[in-house]
Amino acid sequence: MKLEDNLKETLEGRTLQPSENTWNALAKQLDAHNKKQHKKLFWWFGIAASIVGVVLISTLFFKNTITDISKPTLVETQKTIKDVNDNNVVKLQEQVAETVDMTNKIIETPKQEIKTSFQKTQKIITSENHKEAIAQTQPKTENNNKPLEILNAETILEDLKVESIVAQINDLKEKGTISDEAIDALLNQAQKEITLQKLYNEDVKTVDANALLQDVETDLQQSFRDKVFEALQTSYDKVKTAVAQRNN
């Protein structure tokens, strides 16, 4: 019989019984390993759960804030539009027709309210969810020409002031007491009066912040002073042409 075959055959057939403690030791090792695995799993589950929790809370929080913002907007919109239409705009139209001073006091507040309410109305129209609101606000969008009327009232006020200043300057001219300083003083006073009337809201007894902002914007437009100078120049040109024609 060959050596290696004999060796292999003999060794292959051999079995050795391990001691009893070996299994116990193995069982203990396996138990310890399982505990470690459970701990690992526990930590992983904990981390996963906390991540899910944070995501849920954050989504809920953001959803709530969005709804909080949108709901009151709708309610306010309806009220302001009603107020504007029922009281202020009608009053405004009447008062503009009557006196310039009274008009100036009323103009600013409704003007802004109409502007804001007009924007809000547009928002409501675009949202499909609130059909009732659309039904209520849609007729009120027909008042688009009202801000134009208010703007016209503003220009009327300025024109009236211009006329009065020109008249005063002409008086001074006739009296012979005209000077650059006197004209400047008159212009400054008139300008102050106009800006005050624009900013100060007589109904609420407060200065309108939006009006202040708009005041800055109006600087870009033609100033009151320019208008006065323009009016003086045109009257001067008229006199000049009249004298020239008479001489001819």
Q: Does 17 bind other proteins (CB under 8 A)?
A: yes
Q: What are phi and psi of 220, to 5 degrees?
A: -70, -25
Q: Which of 19, 67, 145, 245 binds other proteins (CB under 8 A)?
A: 19
Q: How many whole angstroms separate alpha carbon 102 and alpha carbon 130?
A: 38
Stretch that binds other proteins, among 18-26, 74-82, 115-123, 164-172 (CB under 8 A): 18-26
Q: Does 6 bind other proteins (CB under 8 A)?
A: yes
CB of 29 to other proteins, least distance (A): 5
Q: Does 176 bind other proteins (CB under 8 A)?
A: no
Stretch that binds other proteins, among 13-21, 41-49, 68-76, 174-182 (CB under 8 A): 13-21
Distances (CA, A) of 62 to 52, 193, 196: 16, 48, 43
Q: Does 27 bind other proteins (CB under 8 A)?
A: yes
Cβ distance to other proteins smaller for residue 27 or 209: 27
Stretch that binds other proteins, among 7-15, 50-58, 158-166, 221-229 (CB under 8 A): 7-15
CB of 35 to other proteins, least distance (A): 12
Q: Does 23 bind other proteins (CB under 8 A)?
A: yes
Q: Does 2 bind other proteins (CB under 8 A)?
A: yes
Instruction: Centre a 10 Å sphere on the Cβ of residue 168 and count the other Cβ atoms it contains.
Output: 15
**Binding-site ranges for other proteins (CB under 8 A):** 1-4, 6-8, 10-12, 14-19, 22-23, 25-27, 29-30, 33-34
